[in-house]
Structure 1
Amino acid sequence: MAKPSLELGALKDKSLHEFEEESLDSPASIGRKSNLMEETTDGSFSGSSRSHGKNTVLKSIKIMLFSTKLNLLMPFGPAAIVVDILTDNHGWVFFLCLLGITPLAERLGFTTEQLALFTGDTVGGLLNATFGNATELIISVYALKGGLLRVVQQSLLGSILSNMLLVLGCSFFCGGIVFYKEEQVFNKTSATVNSGLLLMAVMGLLFPAVLHFTHTELHFGKSELALSRFSSCVMLVAYGAYLFYQLKSQKNPVIPINDGESLTESLDEEVPEISKWESIVWLAILALWISLLSEYLVDALEGAASEWNIPIGFISVIVLPIVGNAAEHASAVMFAMKNKLDISLGVAIGSSTQISMFGVPFCVIVGWILGHPMDLNFQLFETATLFITVLVVAFLLQDGNSNYFKGLMLMLCYLIVAASFFVHVDPSSVGDLSEET
């Protein structure tokens, strides 16, 4: 009986020796180390654990701050605050804030993708859409607090348009170029549901505008606002039902990809670069920093439009959403080039759906609470632009496949929209009024 005991002891010593020789950065060694620490009682590995914790934090900081060249723009954020304190040049403050927010939005998208690797594909898509829109929602809330209701409306509209035309168009185009020998496919069911929600959002925005311009309000100045608030509550309920449908009704969503793999299997191939809790901490830090810069950005918006002699509507609809959508733009194009078109569609169209069915009604309710008459009357020009855009995108998505030509069409449509808002004068905007005078 003594011989087996000796052999077990030798094997144990050998396994400990092999464990000590493995790298601390190996996921397998870390897992075995944790198990061994639970079994030992002398605390001999506590020092190594603290050392590993420090290395993990340093590695996380290195990945977040030095893994992309876009982070070279981060110092422009503090520079904007310094320029605002020392000078009254709103144009420079606005420009520096745009530069400073751009890498933060990209890092926010990267952190969201890391967190999504720890969840399922459905929750991951919702996380990408939610935190990808965080920049626009934060800017909108600060503009709402400042009473810039038209800036809120136009920036939210611009976010919807840029996601549906620019982000989705670039995804289709880049994916089509990489996989030019084959036609990329996506889940038509999900695209149809999102298209239906977008058409419902158009309905919510269309009726208050028609009521206003036909002068058929029962109580002038009150019916339009009351209808907007009621419609906003209905849209929020619809979006809540949509989330329930996504998370509960589709219990085991397996989305086919061209090579026959499921989306979950495709996502499992990627290894997270930072842990789940590190992702959550970084999300909080980035959101706070974006909030601070957004306050300076909104304060300098009207002054920048006046100094640059650019319509404030063009800045709100085109410039701000492009900066805010940097995260969606990068991630959606990246997934399309990896032939994961369902994720790209979820990011682009999902973000548009979330802004239209959650962001816009949410701002109406927040304005109601703060005492600002925020409504769903986005004016006739903006509402017509959204209506035509939704129809074009829904038509291109109906067959369930994509190619580079469809992406090119969407991008060219966005150029037409951008040119239209550059020559459009919005009499409700302070910047345009100063330009007319």
Structure 2
Amino acid sequence: MECLEGRSVVELENASLLGPSSFQRKSLSFAEVSPIDHDCEKFSQDVVRSKVLSSIKVVVLSTKINLLMPFGPMAILVHNLFDSHGLVFLFCLLGIIPLAERLGYTTEQLALFTGPAVGGLLYATFGNATELIISIHALKSGFIHLVQQSLLGSILSNLLLVLGCALFAGGVVFYKREQSFNHADTSVDFGLLLMAVMGLIFPAVLHATHTELENEKSQLNLSRFTSCILLVAYVCYIVFQVKSQKNLPALVEEDGGLNKETTDDAEVPEISMWESMIWLAILTGGISVLSGYLVKTIEGASKELKMPVAFLSVILLPIVGNAAEHAGSVMFAVKDKLDLSLEVAVGSSIQISMFLIPFCVVVGWMIDCPMDLNFQPFETTTLFMSVIIVAFLLHNGTSNYFKGIMLILCYLIVSASFYVHTDPAPIGGKL
């Protein structure tokens, strides 16, 4: 009887284990594990949130120039609520300045993760992205002469204003001696600039002398052929620069004193590669939107502000696009790194003349827009004289504050010339 009673007790216990209450207890035990999963999910969300906030702090809040960012949304708001092209144009200019500066910063951050070859392509693509975006918007609207003048103005701004301010600032800080730079690299750079000027002169002379084999077609065909040649020359220049950078470590190893300085100057990325790519897309999109409003309102702004379109496109637009180059070039000159200042100012001019201008001609060719290299005699003469003056001042490989003053004064003469210049060609076409 005791055995039977013991067996019945065991059966009752087994039955209780298989009963609904057991499943309820098991379900409760599983429910007890789920808070851990929620904690992990919450932890991952907190990490992503902190990463996003950290990235915004580095890119958006780390420099005072970003105080101008609200002018971008204000330009769109004024365009939709009021009929004031002048205000929209000015607000777009102010709104593009911080976006262009941050675009240069994120490009530098992304280039730290790549090799010299990819880094060179990145600088070629995004170094003058503001001018490129404005030019593409203008080409789509048929504003051929606006594209030509804005790109010409960027070259003049870099060669005269940006480089002049850099030489002046460096000369003031180091007034007791002359600063020096690599004369060999400078001669190559100005050779490329003179090659670009030659590519602009021949179509203008062909048109001015009325010696075209076919009226207007010869000028356009010559411009497209020359543009392809200039693009090939620019690719060769990039390859040459990359090869020179690869040979630099071997030269540094021969002088042991330079190794410590090189390692000390090594930059550490402040944001990750994916963050750089995301910010590049965001900033490029913002510049593209504001550039559209800029192009649409430039004619109305010219009438409201009582300034020639040539002055707005050659002087004001490039100052906005070259804001990052201006600050960087002056900063390097003050730190006695004049080679870097020349690389920023003159290198940007080479990018525009050897890459952006021919690229816009090719893009116009693809979208059936007759963009050519005939920049009109007044503009072409201004560019030729500017290149000759800068090359003459820098031919001996030394610099001082007086050379910087001369370049700044030359830019003031150019600005006054375009202020009183009556453009014979409308911004939406050619003569």
Counterpart code for 1:275: S
Q: Could you tell me which residue of structure 2 aligns to residue 415 of structure 1?
A: 412
| Cα distance in structure 1, aligned partners of 2:339 and 2:46 | 41
State yes or no: 1:242 paired with 2:242. Answer: no
- The match for 1:318 among 315, 322, 329 is 315
Q: Could you tell me which residue of structure 2 aligns to residue 280 of structure 1?
A: 277
Q: Cα offset for 1:156?
A: 0.4
State yes or no: 1:70 paired with 2:65. Answer: yes
Q: Could you tell me which residue of structure 2 aligns to residue 101 of structure 1?
A: 96
Counterpart code for 1:300: T
Show the 5 A alignment for 1:365-376.
365-376=362-373
What whole-Å deviation, never above 9, does each CA across 1:289-334 have from its counterpart, x for those lacking one?
Answer: 1001100110111111122121100001000000011111111111
Show the 5 A alignment for 1:261-340.
261=258, 265=262, 268-340=265-337
What whole-Å deviation, never above 9, does each CA across 1:349-376 have from its counterpart, x for those lacking one?
Answer: 1110010011111111111111111110
Q: Is the 8 A contact 1:180 1:403 kept in 2?
A: yes
What whole-Å deviation, never above 9, does each CA across 1:357-400 have from its counterpart, x for those lacking one?
Answer: 11111111111111111110000000000001111111122222
What whole-Å deviation, never above 9, does each CA across 1:248-293 have from its counterpart, x for those lacking one?
Answer: 355223699xxx7479817734433223332222112111110011
Q: Could you tell me which residue of structure 2 aligns to residue 388 of structure 1?
A: 385
Q: Could you tell me which residue of structure 2 aligns to residue 210 of structure 1?
A: 205
Deviates more, 1:216-225 or 1:134-143: 216-225
Q: Could you tell me which residue of structure 1 aligns to residue 422 of structure 2?
A: 425
Q: Is the 8 A contact 1:121 1:264 kept in 2?
A: no
Counterpart code for 2:301: A
Q: Which runs of 5+ in 2 are unaligned?
A: 1-38
| Cα distance in structure 1, aligned partners of 2:174 and 2:277 | 35
**When the two structures are aligned, how many residues end up with a matched partner?**
386
| Cα distance in structure 1, aligned partners of 2:263 and 2:202 | 43
Q: Could you tell me which residue of structure 2 aligns to residue 357 of structure 1?
A: 354
SS in 1 for 2:60: helix
Q: Cα offset for 1:404?
A: 1.5
Deviates more, 1:395-404 or 1:91-100: 395-404
| Cα distance in structure 2, aligned partners of 1:182 and 1:68 | 32
SS in 2 for 1:427: coil
Q: Is the 8 A contact 1:109 1:331 kept in 2?
A: no
Change beyond 3 A, Cα 1:112–1:333: farther
Q: Cα offset for 1:184?
A: 2.1
| Cα distance in structure 2, aligned partners of 1:280 and 1:382 | 37
| Cα distance in structure 1, aligned partners of 2:326 and 2:376 | 28
Q: Is the 8 A contact 2:166 2:404 kept in 1?
A: yes
Counterpart code for 2:213: L
Q: Could you tell me which residue of structure 2 aligns to residue 80 of structure 1?
A: 75
| Cα distance in structure 2, aligned partners of 1:100 and 1:248 | 38
Deviates more, 1:187-196 or 1:118-127: 118-127
Q: Is the 8 A contact 2:143 2:427 kept in 1?
A: no
SS in 2 for 1:66: coil
TM-score, length of structure 2 as denominator length? 0.83
Q: Is the 8 A contact 1:128 1:347 kept in 2?
A: no
| Cα distance in structure 2, aligned partners of 1:201 and 1:168 | 19
Change beyond 3 A, Cα 1:224–1:266: farther
Counterpart code for 1:385: T
Q: Is the 8 A contact 1:121 1:263 kept in 2?
A: no
Q: Cα offset for 1:413?
A: 0.9
Q: Is the 8 A contact 1:164 1:348 kept in 2?
A: yes
Q: Is the 8 A contact 2:120 2:242 kept in 1?
A: no
Q: Cα offset for 1:144?
A: 0.6
Deviates more, 1:175-184 or 1:110-119: 110-119
Q: Cα offset for 1:180?
A: 2.4
Change beyond 3 A, Cα 1:126–1:330: farther
Change beyond 3 A, Cα 1:262–1:191: farther
Identity %: 65
- The match for 2:50 among 48, 52, 55 is 55
SS in 1 for 2:176: coil
Q: Cα offset for 1:142?
A: 0.3
State yes or no: 1:173 paired with 2:185. Answer: no
Q: Cα offset for 1:219?
A: 1.1
Structure number with bigger Rg: 2
Counterpart code for 2:282: I
Q: Could you tell me which residue of structure 2 aligns to residue 159 of structure 1?
A: 154
| Cα distance in structure 2, aligned partners of 1:88 and 1:368 | 35
Counterpart code for 2:426: S
| Cα distance in structure 1, aligned partners of 2:424 and 2:79 | 28
| Cα distance in structure 1, aligned partners of 2:248 and 2:141 | 43
Cα RMSD over matched residues?
2.6
SS in 2 for 1:375: coil
| Cα distance in structure 1, aligned partners of 2:396 and 2:408 | 19
Change beyond 3 A, Cα 1:202–1:180: same
Q: Cα offset for 1:46?
A: 10
Q: Cα offset for 1:151?
A: 0.2
Change beyond 3 A, Cα 1:245–1:174: same
| Cα distance in structure 1, aligned partners of 2:131 and 2:260 | 28
Q: Cα offset for 1:159?
A: 0.5
TM-score, length of structure 1 as denominator length? 0.82
Q: Is the 8 A contact 2:311 2:415 kept in 1?
A: yes
Q: Which runs of 5+ in 1 are unaligned?
A: 1-43, 432-437
Counterpart code for 1:172: L
